[in-house]
Structure 1
Amino acid sequence: MNIDPQIVDVATTGKPRRFVFVLMQQFTMLSFAAAIESLRIANRTAGKTLYRWTILSEDGQEAVCSNGCVFRVDGDLGEMEREDTILMCGGIDVQKATTKRILNWLRREARRGVTIGGLCTAGYTLAKAGLLDNKKATIHWENQDSFAEEFEEVTLTKSVFVVDGNRMTTAGGTSSIDLMIKIIADDHGEDLANAVADILIYSSIRTDQDTQRLSIPTRIGVRHPKLSRVIQMMEQNIEDPISPATLAKEVGMSTRQLERLFRRYLSRSPKRYYMELRLQKARNLLMQTDMTVINVALACGFASPSHFSKCYRSHYDTTPYRERGSHASRLSV
Structure 2
Amino acid sequence: MPTHAPLVPPGAAYYPVQSAGDTRSYAFLLVPGFTLLAFSSAVEPLRIANQLSQKPLYRWRVLSEGGRPVASSSGITVAADEALGPLDRETDLMVCAGNIPSAAAGSAVVATVQRHHRFGGTVGGICTGAFALAHAGVLEDRRFTLHWENQPGFLEDFPRLVPTSNRFESAGRTLTCGGGAASTDMMLSLIARDHGADFAAMVSDMCLRTVLAGAAPEQRSSLAALMRSRSPALIAVVKLMNEHLEDTLSLEELSDAAGCSRRHVERLFKATVGETPNGFYRGLRLDRGRNLLSTTDMTLLEVATACGFNSVSHFSKCFKARFGTVPTRFSHRSRSPSRMARA
TM range (shorter): over 0.9
Q: Is the 8 A contact 2:301 2:312 kept in 1?
A: yes
Match of 1:70 in 2: 77
Q: What amino acid is aligned across from residue 191 of structure 2 in structure 1?
A: I
**Aligned 1:257-272 pairs, distance under 5 A:** 257-272=264-279
Give yes or no for the alignment of 1:139 onto 2:149. Answer: no
Match of 1:153 in 2: 160
Match of 2:18 in 1: 10
Give yes or no for the alignment of 1:180 onto 2:180. Answer: no
**Aligned 1:49-198 pairs, distance under 5 A:** 49-198=56-205
Distance in 1 between the 2:183 and 2:25 partners?
16
Give yes or no for the alignment of 1:295 onto 2:284. Answer: no
Distance verdict in 2 for CA 1:7–1:322, change over 3 Å: closer
Distance in 1 between the 2:53 and 2:338 partners?
47
Distance in 2 between the 1:204 and 1:111 partners?
36
Equivalent residue for 1:245, pick from 252, 256, 264:
252
Q: Per-residue CA shift, 1:15-66, capped at 9, x if unaligned?
A: 3110001111111111111111100111122221111111111121111111
Match of 1:19 in 2: 26
Match of 2:320 in 1: 313
Q: Is the 8 A contact 2:33 2:98 kept in 1?
A: yes
Q: Per-residue CA shift, 1:54-109, capped at 9, x if unaligned?
A: 11111211111111212122111011001100111111313135311111221111
Distance verdict in 2 for CA 1:191–1:8, change over 3 Å: farther
Return the offset for 1:190.
1.3
Distance in 1 between the 2:63 and 2:217 partners?
31
Return the offset for 1:316.
2.4
Aligned length: 330
Where in structure 1 do 4 or more consecutive aligned residues deviate above 4 Å? none
Q: Secondary structure at the match of 1:272?
A: helix
Q: What amino acid is aligned across from residue 12 of structure 1 in structure 2?
A: A
Extract unaligned runs of 5+ from structure 2: 1-9
Q: Secondary structure at the match of 1:121?
A: coil
Q: Is the 8 A contact 1:85 1:116 kept in 2?
A: yes
Return the offset for 1:220.
2.0
Q: What amino acid is aligned across from residue 249 of structure 1 in structure 2?
A: D
Distance verdict in 2 for CA 1:26–1:227, change over 3 Å: same
Distance verdict in 2 for CA 1:312–1:8, change over 3 Å: same
Distance in 2 between the 1:209 and 1:30 partners?
19
Q: Per-residue CA shift, 1:114-172, capped at 9, x if unaligned?
A: 10001111112211222212221111111011111211232311000011110111011
Q: What amino acid is aligned across from residue 23 of structure 1 in structure 2?
A: L
Distance verdict in 2 for CA 1:30–1:161, change over 3 Å: same
Q: Is the 8 A contact 1:162 1:208 kept in 2?
A: no
Distance in 1 between the 2:216 and 2:175 partners?
14
How does the TM-score come out when normalised to structure 2?
Answer: 0.91
Distance verdict in 2 for CA 1:3–1:169, change over 3 Å: closer
Distance in 2 between the 1:101 and 1:286 partners?
26
Q: What amino acid is aligned across from residue 268 of structure 2 in structure 1?
A: L
54-63 or 297-306, larger mean C-alpha shift: 297-306
Distance verdict in 2 for CA 1:321–1:86, change over 3 Å: same
Q: Secondary structure at the match of 1:321?
A: helix
Q: Per-residue CA shift, 1:158-201, capped at 9, x if unaligned?
A: 00001111011101110011111110111111121111111111
Q: Is the 8 A contact 2:152 2:288 kept in 1?
A: yes
Q: Is the 8 A contact 1:28 1:65 kept in 2?
A: yes
Q: What amino acid is aligned across from residue 42 of structure 1 in structure 2?
A: A
Distance in 2 between the 1:244 and 1:162 partners?
36
Return the offset for 1:310.
2.5
Q: Is the 8 A contact 2:304 2:312 kept in 1?
A: yes
Equivalent residue for 1:46, pick from 29, 41, 53:
53
Q: Is the 8 A contact 2:20 2:55 kept in 1?
A: no
Distance in 2 between the 1:134 and 1:304 partners?
36
Q: Is the 8 A contact 1:161 1:208 kept in 2?
A: no
Q: Secondary structure at the match of 1:155?
A: coil
Match of 2:234 in 1: 227
